[in-house]
């Protein structure tokens, strides 16, 4: 769930997952390791110094690395897209890069097909 203008990113909650094969055993986020950790580890406080942010993000990524639903969490964050926090082992900046790569990859076949039609 995206934070509203009156809600800080720290208060964001993992939303209910849409229908998937995991729904038979419950939504993916019910198995997330981060549900047992402090949300502050995954979301930056305002005006956080760079060194503290990098340290906090690395600690959050260590939690993600042992999570059984890392892939589902990452895909959720990419599909939403989640603008804040560490989701699926990726920071917001890393997710933006991944989304840009996906967009380029998804448009390359279309562009090359158009070029071959012109030639």
Listed residue (44, 87, 81) closest to 63, CA to CA: 87
Is 76 annotated in a binding site? The answer is: no
When mean pLDDT is compared across 9-13, 30-34, 104-108, 110-114, the lowest value belongs to 9-13
Rounded to a whole number of angstroms, the CA Rg of the chain reads: 17
Is 98 annotated in a binding site? The answer is: no
The per-residue pLDDT for range 40-52, each reduced to its tens digit, is: 899 988 899 999 9
The per-residue pLDDT for range 5-28, each reduced to its tens digit, is: 444 444 444 444 433 344 445 688
Give the mean pLDDT of the chain: 78
Contact present, 99 and 81 (Cβ < 8 Å): yes
Opening angle at CA 73, ends 71 and 78, nearest 5: 95
Is 61 annotated in a binding site? The answer is: no
Under the banding of pLDDT at 50, 70 and 90, the label for residue 101 is very high
pTM higher than 0.85: no
Contact present, 76 and 32 (Cβ < 8 Å): no
Is 66 annotated in a binding site? The answer is: no
């Amino acid at each position: 769930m995206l934070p509203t203008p009156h809600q800080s990113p720290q208060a964001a909650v993992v939303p209910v997952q849409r229908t998937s094969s995991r729904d038979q055993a419950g939504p993916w986020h019910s198995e997330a390791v981060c549900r047992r950790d402090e949300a502050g580890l995954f979301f930056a406080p305002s005006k956080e110094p760079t060194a503290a942010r990098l340290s906090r993000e690395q600690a959050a990524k260590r939690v993600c690395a042992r999570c059984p639903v890392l892939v589902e969490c990452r895909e959720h964050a990419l599909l939403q897209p989640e603008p804040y926090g560490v989701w699926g082992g990726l920071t917001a900046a890393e997710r933006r890069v991944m989304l840009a790569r996906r967009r380029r990859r998804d448009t390359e076949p279309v562009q090359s097909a158009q070029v071959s039609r012109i030639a």
